[in-house]
Structure 1
Amino acid sequence: MARTETTADPAAAAASPGVARRRDLNLYWTGQTTSAFGSVFTTIALPVVAVVTLKASPGEIGLIGAAATAPVLLLGFPLGALADRISRPRRALILLDLLSALAAATVALTLFLHAVSVLWLVALCVVMSGGSTLSASVYFLHLRQLVGTEGIGAARARLQAGTYGAALAGRLLSGPAIAVLGAGTALTVDVASYLVSAAALLAMRSPDRVERGPAPSVVQMARGAAAGLNAFRGDAFRRALGVFIVVPVAALAGVTTLTGPFLLRTVHLPTAAYGSVFALSGLMGLAGSTVAGRALAPGRDARRVMLGAFSAAMLCSLLLPLAAGPLPLAAACAALGIGTPVFFGAIANVAVSSVLVSGMSEEVLGRAMSAMQVCAALAGLAGSLGGGVLGDHFGVRGALWVLGLAALAAIAATLPPALRAADRARRAEEAEAAAARTAEPAAAAK
């Protein structure tokens, strides 16, 4: 009897962490999915408020878009260094959820009181962007804490699939909800979703502690910024990757700035149908996340997958300015122009996670991710402001063509050297793995 009990106990002890891990990952999925559902309501509501309620010009809409990226540019490096010192990632995510809920609730109140202005929309974008800048780095730290380095790709694909599925439902419901109940109600849905996300994080049971050093000083933050940039400068493929991140982000930021005015003023899409045009993007994102799991199967080169997906996303973005003619045809073309880049972008996002997160040490991961965010934010800021300026001078449709063609040209020029760098990195990894396999029998013989 004693021997039977002794044999069973280790199995139960070994199974328990796995069960707890799956439970916490399910809770994380629930929180992230619910938050994504609510965020779509705010994403759809803001351009409707700006264009329809406030009659904002393309330049003012560009200012709102720039407000969503400026905090990343100004605070990205310090927050990245701070992320590498956070000893309780889950607690930080809970606080950030609560901060976002408070910001959305405040602007919802101004809508209910008919006191909203462009300044309020700018303030909301600033607060939420600052919070998401920190949470983006902490997100990966917490995810690796839950599933380990080897499980990042599969867990990220699952989380992203849930996010896109929730976004699909949100886009189908947000337009009619805004038309019937108003934009203030839409932001209230987002508030509730942040609270659900915080509750899911609170319900987790796995340990939430990472051994960290003391809080960074200003000098250490500056050094952290340099370390984050060096993580990209020191690798040929990551240098090429910078172009594939920065150029599409700049172009798509400009396109996003102009999409609301284009659909509501140029295509003359009814407000109630505005969210439905984005519904295809949720479905495409869900499909892209599913395809990414297969495309990144063992033995596949995540670098090539990422480069191809980014290139295809930029090519498909040219479908949006083609939207013209009868309203059903124009709406369908616009939906494809919005949705197909999301399909390829979903594949690229999962591939980026696999390439960067698995290839960097935990000590520099937060700073490297923040460096990427800052560079992307600078590109997004330029794209948002540039899109507004181009829209004011060349019209919305003309500006969309300029942004798409310029980005595609930059990607086409960078693709050949990026592919060569990816091949060199792949060969180096294979050589290193072969050397390790050869060394193992020799070490065992000794």
Structure 2
Amino acid sequence: MKRDLQLYWWGQTTSALGSVFTAVAMPIIAIVQFGASPGEMGLIAAAAGVPAIVLGLPAGALADRIRRPRRMLVALDTAAALGVGILALGVSTHVADTGWLICLGALEGVLSILAGSLYFVHLRQLVEADRIGPARARLQAGQYGAALLGRILAGPVIVGFGTPAALTVDVVSYLLSATALLGMRTPDGVPVPAKRAHKGTLREVAAGLRFFTGHPFHRSLLVFIVVPAAAAAGLSTLTGPFLLRVIHLPAAYYGLAFVLSGVMGLAGSALSARVLVPGRDPRRVTILAFAAGTTCCLALPMAAGPLPLATVCAALGIGVPVFFGALANVALISVFAVDVAEDAMGRITAALQVITATTAMIGALAGGALGDRLGVRPALWTLCALSLTAVALAGPAALRSARTLHEADRERSSVVSVNPR
């Protein structure tokens, strides 16, 4: 298991490195080469959300039934490599246009919802249940480290060799990830519990959604997941136009504006292993981390003045929220480990992806529309203000219900320790 977890780490880290090259290249292709407007940037960002909304819940039910998740992950990596490779060819031959970027976003949305539903199903093949949190923190740290390196290298690669070269790096990374999966020795097999054999897909889909509407804490948690996801999508849609057109950051240095986010992601992942010690409530950590990340987004629209100062301020607005987001992501997985049954993880993860994809698509389209109507900077301020208001209103109820659940957990633990049988 240790060897295979190491391979999984290498595969996921390599894939994350390549994905950053595509993430940096896409807005440059859209804005600089294709002249895309903020509204078109919103359509590109939203395209990835449509498949998640349509396929997400059935994909979650399917993930809980797939007997060989690793084989499916290999197929998904291969399909992603093919899609990015076709775009690289289209850009290099001057055949591609904005529609190609929208199609790639849709394809990546399909592959992402399937891979995301299988991610924790497969991870549970490699580690024991009580090691999920530390394993996730390690994987996440590797991904943020790769993202940091990718943001440093992507700009020079694009300037020196062009955007198709950056996309090609992503193609290679997907193939290396598939190779790492194929090299694992842990048996690739997940038994299907007999008690779920006669449940229909629709009932399983509904069960995934009900998790987020049952307990008061889970309803409050939904606000802290949905609102930051929508705001982040809108902010992400406008970040490219803001950096390239408002503060006039040269394209060669575009990737460097995101370097701090890699450092902050590494720091947040490392801190999560120290913060989420036994006895500490991961629910409270999740809520506080999401709230802090939302607050720190205000630094992005504040970026102004001389280019170096504006770039630093924008980098803080992009990077510091990632620190708290990394902490929140690991804490959220710890919450799921406590509150979700093992054979329901795929459905719950898929339901979460559908919810966040829906709100992210709305946020991306809203961000693009606000950017066209109000201007890029006023649109950023509007998104930040709406997000902060929603989080401030939901915060007290979320913390109260988290405390109630934590006290109930402690009571159950004390009963088990006294009565182990």
TM-score interval for Structure 1 and Structure 2 normalised by the shorter chain = over 0.9
8 Å contact kept, 1:149–1:358: no
Shifted more, 353-362 versus 328-337: the winner is 353-362
For residue 53 of structure 1, what is the aligned residue in structure 2?
Answer: 33
For residue 351 of structure 2, what is the aligned residue in structure 1?
Answer: 371
Quick one: which of 388, 403, 409 aligns to 1:423? 403
Q: Which amino acid aligns with 1:336?
A: L
Q: Provide the rounded CA distance (Å) in 2 between the counterparts of 1:272 and 1:64.
A: 22
Q: Provide the rounded CA distance (Å) in 2 between the counterparts of 1:108 and 1:92.
A: 25
Q: Does 1:129 align with 2:109?
A: yes
For residue 160 of structure 2, what is the aligned residue in structure 1?
Answer: 180
Q: Provide the rounded CA distance (Å) in 2 between the counterparts of 1:408 and 1:231.
A: 25
Quick one: which of 302, 312, 335 aligns to 1:355? 335
Q: Provide the rounded CA distance (Å) in 1 between the counterparts of 2:372 and 2:43.
A: 13
Tell me by how many angstroms 1:212 deviates. Answer: 2.5
Q: Which amino acid aligns with 1:378?
A: T
Q: Does 1:409 align with 2:389?
A: yes
Tell me by how many angstroms 1:377 deviates. Answer: 0.9
- Listed as ranges, the matches of 1:290-439 within 5 Å are 290-439=270-419
- Listed as ranges, the matches of 1:21-420 within 5 Å are 21-212=1-192, 220-420=200-400
1:200-224, Cα deviation, whole Å (9 max, x unpaired): 000000111011379x99x933222
1:277-298, Cα deviation, whole Å (9 max, x unpaired): 1011001100110011111011
Percent identity, please: 54
Structure 1 stretches of 4+ with a deviation exceeding 6 A read: none
For residue 3 of structure 1, what is the aligned residue in structure 2?
Answer: none
Shifted more, 93-102 versus 234-243: the winner is 234-243
Structure 2: state its 5+ residue gaps.
none
- Listed as ranges, the matches of 1:8-23 within 5 Å are 21-23=1-3
Tell me by how many angstroms 1:129 deviates. Answer: 1.2
Q: Provide the rounded CA distance (Å) in 2 between the counterparts of 1:70 and 1:97.
A: 20
Q: Provide the rounded CA distance (Å) in 2 between the counterparts of 1:184 and 1:421.
A: 50
Equivalences, count? 419
Tell me by how many angstroms 1:179 deviates. Answer: 1.7
Q: Highest CA radius of gyration, 1 or 2?
A: 1
1:230-255, Cα deviation, whole Å (9 max, x unpaired): 12222221111100000000000000
Shifted more, 357-366 versus 191-200: the winner is 357-366
Q: Provide the rounded CA distance (Å) in 1 between the counterparts of 2:218 and 2:86.
A: 40
Q: Provide the rounded CA distance (Å) in 1 between the counterparts of 2:157 and 2:297.
A: 28
8 Å contact kept, 1:85–1:213: no
Counterpart of 2:187 in 1: which secondary structure?
coil
Output the TM-score relative to the length of structure 2: 0.98
Q: Provide the rounded CA distance (Å) in 2 between the counterparts of 1:235 and 1:356.
A: 13
Q: Provide the rounded CA distance (Å) in 2 between the counterparts of 1:221 and 1:112.
A: 43
1:111-139, Cα deviation, whole Å (9 max, x unpaired): 11011111100111111111111111111
Q: Provide the rounded CA distance (Å) in 1 between the counterparts of 2:151 and 2:305.
A: 24
Q: Which amino acid aligns with 2:99?
A: L
Output the TM-score relative to the length of structure 1: 0.92
Note the aligned Cα RMSD (angstroms): 1.4
Counterpart of 2:107 in 1: which secondary structure?
helix
